[in-house]
């Protein structure tokens, strides 16, 4: 039997965009960022190409640069054809053709990168699931935050391979709101071994009165093992009341080498306990019973973790043993829950009033004794009667000036375990 007391380190890869580094040293790394730097890059590549063909005596470097950069086609960005008129030999024709490609490449790079803003909204654009068993619920959330000044729409999600499916958690985000692109590896048996996919989405927003769109790509990979089966494919604790525990079991079955075994279990959350008990080993089949426990001290909120099972297998060329990942999901509900939190006031015009509702639920009846905020433009209405469900009406009246709305709403209750509830209120007043 394996008992788990280890801490799982964070192994999520962070994807970093790479830039083209032309010949001439690292100082030229950002040459694609402006038309002036594009001309510098062009000059460098013309020099490199000229050096390649310097045995040709019919022209020199100054002629190449002058004829190329003074052409009307260079200014307009069209494919340069007039450059070849002074080249009497085939090798110099090749030089001219390659220079045309350089010009087209730099102009195209500038046009494509001129409106790239969407990638900055995401925390990462790459995820590797690692070794995944058949039936495993392998899902990953590409989290994003709308840091723009206007609403953001998520459009046209597609995957390059049926081995990975994806969906939006929401298709519309107001300023400050968060969402995700949820990628899921297909482990039903239709796809096996190494698989990868590119997810492509389109984002749309309005900047300075103009509709702007951008395309963002995500890179997903994983190895689906045909010899390991998990039933069910994840540990699902569901909704658990704060202060109580929950227990779930998962069966792991391996078919292959008779000496195969699990050697260790790791997890990241200290309030999750796990053990693996071998229950059968015969004819090349090994079966483990995995028991996962959500402890009473788990705090309110979503539970997202992964149990990592270390095996006695080793991949060729690597010193670390092979691991199998089992996702863990759940939610711990507070004794008293208030929704929505935070509360979105929205975007208001000067003098406009917005009215929103806050719903508070509890296992036992309780009373609301007071509701307050530091901004005196907030007005609240509520019942003083005891109930397990309470409704608070929140009204906000915008002023005449443009400004952000950011305040804390404090709710005092008669509940002895949770006498104070704090909810953030966010919004904006626009001209």
Confidence grade of residue 115 (pLDDT, cut at 50, 70, 90): low
pLDDT tens, 353-392?
Answer: 999 999 998 878 999 999 999 999 999 999 999 999 999 9
Which residues, other chains included, contact 90 with Cβ-Cβ below 8 Å and sequence gap of 6+?
none
pLDDT tens, 176-234?
Answer: 999 999 999 999 888 889 999 999 999 999 988 899 999 999 999 999 999 999 999 99
pLDDT given for residue 189 in this prediction: 83
Strand order of the β-sheet with 321-333 is 6-7, 262-267, 301-314, 321-333, 235-241
Given this chain, do its domains 234-333 and 336-429 carry the same CATH topology?
A: yes
Q: For residue 404, how many other CB atoms are within 10 A of its CB?
A: 10
Among candidate residues 255, 237, 336, 342, the one with its CA nearest the CA of residue 296: 237
Buried b vs exposed e over 233-254: b needs ≥16 C-beta within 10 Å?
bbbebeebebeeebebebebbb
Confidence grade of residue 25 (pLDDT, cut at 50, 70, 90): very low
Among candidate residues 10, 214, 16, the one with its CA nearest the CA of residue 126: 16
Domain 234-333, architecture per CATH: Sandwich (2.60)
Among candidate residues 320, 326, 313, 324, the one with its CA nearest the CA of residue 139: 326
Compute the distance between CA of residue 152 and CA of residue 425 in angstroms, rounded to an integer: 20
CATH of domain 119-228: 2.60.40.10
Strand order of the β-sheet with 420-429 is 343-348, 420-429, 403-413, 368-372
CATH of domain 336-429: 2.60.40.10
Compute the distance between CA of residue 258 and CA of residue 223 in angstroms, rounded to an integer: 22
DSSP line for 50-69: HHHTTT-TT--HHHHHHHHH
For residue 340, say if its preceding peptide bond is cis, omega within 30 degrees of 0. Answer: yes
Cα distance from N-terminal residue to C-terminal residue, the chain: 66
**Residue extents of the structural domains in the chain:** 34-113, 119-228, 234-333, 336-429
Give me the chain's average pLDDT, please.
78
Q: Is 105 helix (H, G, I), strand (E, B) or coil?
A: helix
């Amino acid at each position: 039997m394996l008992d788990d007391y280890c801490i799982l380190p964070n192994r999520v890869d962070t994807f970093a965009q790479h830039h083209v580094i032309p010949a001439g040293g690292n100082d030229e790394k950002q040459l694609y960022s402006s038309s002036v730097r594009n001309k510098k890059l062009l000059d460098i590549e013309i020099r490199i190409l000229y050096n390649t063909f310097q045995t040709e005596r019919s022209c020199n470097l100054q002629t190449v640069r002058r004829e190329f950069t003074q052409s009307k086609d260079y200014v307009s960005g069209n494919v340069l054809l007039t450059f070849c008129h002074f080249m009497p030999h085939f090798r110099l024709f090749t030089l001219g053709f390659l220079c045309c490609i350089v010009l087209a490449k730099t102009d195209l790079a500038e046009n494509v990168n001129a409106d790239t803003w969407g990638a900055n909204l995401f925390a990462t654009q790459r995820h590797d699931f690692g070794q995944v068993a058949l039936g495993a619920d392998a899902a990953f959330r590409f989290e994003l935050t709308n840091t723009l000044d206007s609403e953001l729409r998520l459009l046209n999600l597609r995957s390059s391979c049926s081995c990975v499916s994806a969906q939006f958690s929401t298709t519309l985000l107001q300023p400050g709101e968060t969402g995700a692109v949820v990628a899921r590896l297909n482990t039903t048996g239709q796809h096996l071994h190494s698989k990868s996919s590119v997810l492509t989405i389109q984002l749309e927003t309005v900047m300075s009165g103009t509709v702007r769109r951008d395309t963002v790509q995500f890179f997903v990979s994983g190895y689906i093992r045909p010899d390991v089966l998990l039933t069910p494919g994840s540990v699902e604790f569901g909704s658990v009341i704060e202060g109580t525990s929950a227990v779930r079991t998962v069966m792991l079955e391996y078919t292959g080498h008779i000496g195969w075994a699990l050697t260790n279990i790791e997890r990241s959350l200290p309030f999750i306990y796990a053990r693996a008990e071998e229950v059968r080993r015969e004819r090349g089949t090994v079966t483990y019973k995995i028991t996962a426990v959500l402890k009473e001290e788990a705090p309110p909120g979503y539970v997202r973790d992964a149990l990592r099972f270390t095996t006695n297998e080793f991949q060729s060329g690597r010193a670390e043993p092979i691991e199998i990942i089992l996702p863990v999901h759940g939610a711990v509900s507070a004794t008293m829950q208030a929704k929505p939190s935070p509360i979105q006031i929205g975007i208001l015009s000067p003098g406009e009033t917005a009215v929103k509702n806050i719903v508070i639920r509890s296992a036992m009846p309780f009373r609301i004794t007071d509701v307050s905020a530091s901004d005196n433009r907030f007005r609240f209405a509520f019942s003083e009667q005891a109930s397990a469900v309470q409704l608070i009406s929140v009204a906000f009246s915008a002023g005449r000036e443009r400004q952000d709305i950011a305040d804390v709403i404090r709710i005092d209750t008669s509940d002895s375990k949770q006498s104070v509830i704090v909810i953030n209120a966010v919004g904006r007043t626009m001209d």
